Amino acid sequence: MLAGAQATPGADFSGMYSFLRDGEFVQVTVEEQGRVTGFVSRYGDSESDRGVFLDHFFKSGKLDGNRLAFTTETVHGVSFEFRGTVERGEGKSRSDEAYYVLKGTLIENTTDEAKKTSSRSREVALKSFPQDASPPQAEKK
């Protein structure tokens, strides 16, 4: 076997996945010892950042087998936590959408000006983008 062919278990899961809205995505990079780096790129929803792209870099991330967990930095009072699994989706090859799907619970933590924190939890299935494809551009309205 070639050195580096599968040196990092789970490296195959690295890539871009859809996020909550069209044009938003999660970049996941699996590194050595199951360490995961990446970021969530999403549109802001507050008065000051509505429609602006915000990048939430991972503060921590771990892949254990197919179990994935990550927590993002707080940007404009919002951070995300994901706990779930990486599963094979309906995509037939890496160049198809949803070859892999991140399934699990996404928690959105929001802190307002009064430092009051609220959390919203939801079940998600984030589909991988086709390999060698860039994220879909948001449609112009």
- Strands (E) located in the chain: 15-18, 25-30, 36-43, 53-64, 67-72, 78-88, 100-111, 117-127
CA 108 remoteness from chain centre? 13
Confidence (pTM): 0.85
Residue 83, CA distances (Å) to 47, 103, 121 in order: 29, 8, 11
pLDDT tens digits, 83-130: 999 999 999 999 999 999 999 999 999 998 899 999 999 999 999 999
Whether 140 is in a domain gets the answer no
- CATH number of the domain that 33 lies in? 2.40.128.30
Q: Whole-angstrom Cα distance, residue 63 to residue 140?
A: 36
Domain membership flag for residue 36: yes
Q: Specify if 46 maps to a domain.
A: yes
Cα 121 to Cα 20: distance, rounded to the nearest angstrom: 13
Domain count along the chain: 1
